[in-house]
A and B are shown apart, each in its own frame.
Chain A
């Protein structure tokens, strides 16, 4: 699943480690999600979206790379 994590994180000047600490996960988790190696569970995906003040569908995109909410 594609996502806008790196973009949103960079916009807020957050490091992977700082973001991981805020979410209570490892830095490797954030890296794996950003690089598409790991799809987070729904609770973690919601927590990530909440951290950026976004809707979950605006952070995690469908296979075509389109935000599902826009459809």
Chain B
């Protein structure tokens, strides 16, 4: 069993999540607002805005991994299975769209969208597992 109980792990997860959501929203909106003030935004400002928006997401992934470690074994197993399904789906999509792009079937795709695709497929996989009552 994990040293931390399920409730403690969930509390620590939620306590870290909300500040990250707020920082992320502030960084995205303020960054895009600042960049819109320029016809040709300075590279330094664009890099800073991009990193400021991406950093909370990177920290969020670390928080998720900590939650996986601290929560109870059953929740961890279900979450890891959903996480793996989401990752498998996203990597498959990357290969499919990557080859379509390499063979000039489709145009450029913004890499950014694979992040939300992963989060969405991970979440859906976890929710559908719950709805079907199927676990492990």
Contact = CB atoms under 8 A, between A and B. Distances in A.
Interface of A: 20-21, 23-26, 28-29, 32-33, 37-38, 40-41, 43-44, 47
B74 A28 contact: yes
Interface in B63-93: 71-75, 77
**B contact face: mostly helix, strand, loop, or mixed:** loop
B74 A29 contact: yes
B128 to A, nearest CB: 15
B6 A41 contact: no
B5 A25 contact: yes
Contacts of A38: 74, 77, 135-136
Contacts, number: 50
B105 interface: no
B111 interface: no
A42 B135 CA distance: 19
Contact of B73 (A20, A21, A37, A41): A41
Nearest to B136: A38
Contacts of A47: 1
A29 B73 CA distance: 8
